[in-house]
A and B are shown apart, each in its own frame.
Chain A
Amino acid sequence: MTTLSSLKKLPATERDSYIAALIRSFTPSPTDVRDDVELSRDIYQKAEKELLSKLHLTSLEAPHARTAALRFLTGALKQTAVPTSDVRNVRERVGGKGALPLHLYDVAFGQNFVDLNETLGVSKDAVLAVIRSADGVEHFVPDEVTQSGVDPTTILVKHFFGADPYTLIVIAMREGAKLRIDRAWKSFFSEVPTEPLAKPVDFLHAFVEVFGVPLRIGDTEAKFVAYEIFPLSPTSGRNMIEVLNGGQQHRFDARFNYRASAYSLAVTLAFAIDVECYASSLAKHGVSFSRDLTDIGHRAVYISGHHAGKSKVVARSKT
């Protein structure tokens, strides 16, 4: 147990104020350390003395002694501030904020991935490899004000170099400390420009520009929309996001995340992939898949959103 018995009788919040004060006294600070809670000099000195004795140290002058003390105190602070019974809840909250190291997220595969992407040449193992050692991760964190109804989304990319290099783009939804894999595409360097892209969302955008179908949102036409708010008028009608596939009967896979109110449509992500164009590209690169595209249905549509007021979003194929 990483504890200081001299602090044991104090309430938890008081105990960690003393531990924090001890830590601050051993770490560099540009100002005089002033504590916001009143600490008893006597208790503080007893705790300091006990710390030295527990670590078999005579002073904290040497760097290795300070490091040992800091390690001990960090453990003690964690034990007090995040008791074992709370770890699960804290982990869920941190995960939801997109602040958990990737290896601590649980991974689940959503039906969209299993039904479509897995059958189009992306294995679960490949997705797990991306999560283990992603080249880029971007967590979309909905604004606190509009959080309700908008899926917290994470985009990950990993580059696979070889004779025919490609980037595997993975989209997941965060459910606390769980990443639910929703989509994954192979974006070959020879077909999708990769320079000078930096952020995962840029790779997704570039991929959608090549394989996407145009959308109309309000008065805007675009293939890819991320984190935009569109004003709505009472005459906007019901079909606020439309897939403009130019009369082609290609199957498309649409993904819309939004929050709709009476006056605006806040879109987290919106795009639609032409599944047949994408499948032809995979075939050109020798990716084998067993899926018969005709059984995807005319439209494979995933819509997630929240409605307030009378407005409604529908994905609709329009020529």
Chain B
Amino acid sequence: LIQEKFRKDIHYVWCGEAFDSTKHGTYTSLALTAPSSDPCAIYKQLREEIKTERHGVKIPQMKAGLSALAVKWRDSGEISADEAAEIIYMADTAGHMEWRPLVYVIPRAPVEARLQKVPIAQRASLGPEYTIAELARHEFDVIEL
């Protein structure tokens, strides 16, 4: 919602090659993704926090992260001070359902040239992780499991 309303539907994504690293062979690099970076594990953790209506670790982290990003975007002139206040207000007042997890399915070929490897120091494990700085909405599908 925030990307759509304030960022022209351009998304910054931090992604992996496998949805569920536990489904891959023990000796493959895809199995080396830590739960804190594994899309499936993150999805399950968030869904659990929403189901139980209990703010665990993930929701406060996202609320804080989004609010801090709003300030960063404001400081870099990407959004106005009014828009930053709106994002912070939205993050603060959003109900549980607004934090429900979504999975982005990104076909690799069209974005291959824009994949940036996450440095090992920033990763929780050896499994491959990437970022794409500007992903347009037509370049991925969104699914809810």
Interface residues of A (CB under 8 A from B): 13, 16-17, 19-21, 23-24, 26-32, 35-37, 63, 66-67, 70-71, 73-74, 77-78, 81-82, 86-87, 90-91, 93-94, 97, 99-101, 103-104, 141
For chain B residues 81-95, which have a beta carbon within 8 Å of chain A? 81-82, 84-86, 88-95
Known interface pairs A23-B67, A99-B5; A63-B57 also in contact (CB < 8 Å):
yes
Known interface pairs A29-B122, A70-B61; A104-B68 also in contact (CB < 8 Å):
no
B14 within 8 A of partner (CB): yes
Q: Kindly provide the distance from the CB of A222 to the nearest chain B CB, expressed in whole angstroms.
A: 27
**Contact across chains for A35 and B72 when beta carbons are under 8 A apart:** yes
B11 within 8 A of partner (CB): no
Q: Which residues of B contact A90 (CB under 8 A)?
A: 82, 85-86, 89
**Using a Cβ cutoff of 8 Å, how many contacts connect chains A and B?**
113
Q: Which residues of A contact B129 (CB under 8 A)?
A: 30
Q: Kindly provide the distance from the CB of A38 to the nearest chain B CB, expressed in whole angstroms.
A: 10
Q: Kindly provide the distance from the CB of B133 to the nearest chain A CB, expressed in whole angstroms.
A: 10
Q: Kindly provide the distance from the CB of B3 to the nearest chain A CB, expressed in whole angstroms.
A: 12
User: Which of B74, B89, B93 gathers the greatest number of chain A CB atoms within 10 Å?
Assistant: B89
B30 within 8 A of partner (CB): no
Q: Which residues of A contact B131 (CB under 8 A)?
A: 30-31
The closest CB in chain A to the CB of B88 belongs to: A81
Interface residues of B (CB under 8 A from A): 1, 5, 14, 36, 56-57, 60-61, 63-65, 67-72, 74-76, 81-82, 84-86, 88-95, 98, 118-119, 122, 124, 129, 131
Known interface pairs A30-B118, A101-B95; A20-B85 also in contact (CB < 8 Å):
no
User: Which of B5, B60, B71, B129 gathers the greatest number of chain A CB atoms within 10 Å?
Assistant: B71
State which of A29, A74, A141 has its C-beta within 8 Å of the C-beta of B64.
A74
Known interface pairs A97-B5, A101-B94; A74-B71 also in contact (CB < 8 Å):
no
Q: Kindly provide the distance from the CB of B52 to the nearest chain A CB, expressed in whole angstroms.
A: 15
Known interface pairs A31-B131, A77-B71, A101-B95; A94-B64 also in contact (CB < 8 Å):
no
Q: Which residues of B contact A77 (CB under 8 A)?
A: 64, 67-68, 71, 88
Q: Which residues of B contact A16 (CB under 8 A)?
A: 71
Considering the chains assembled together, what is the distance between the CA atoms of A66 and B36 in angstroms? 15
**Contact across chains for A82 and B88 when beta carbons are under 8 A apart:** yes
Known interface pairs A28-B36, A70-B61, A81-B84; A20-B71 also in contact (CB < 8 Å):
yes
The closest CB in chain B to the CB of A72 belongs to: B64
**Contact across chains for A70 and B60 when beta carbons are under 8 A apart:** yes
The closest CB in chain A to the CB of B95 belongs to: A101
**Contact across chains for B63 and A35 when beta carbons are under 8 A apart:** no
Q: Kindly provide the distance from the CB of B88 to the nearest chain A CB, expressed in whole angstroms.
A: 5
Given A81-B85, A82-B85, A101-B93, 11 more A-B residue pairs with CB atoms under 8 Å apart are: A28-B61, A28-B124, A29-B122, A30-B14, A31-B131, A32-B122, A35-B72, A74-B60, A90-B85, A100-B90, A141-B5
Considering the chains assembled together, what is the distance between the CA atoms of A104 and B93 in angstroms? 8
Q: Which residues of B contact A23 (CB under 8 A)?
A: 64-65, 67-68
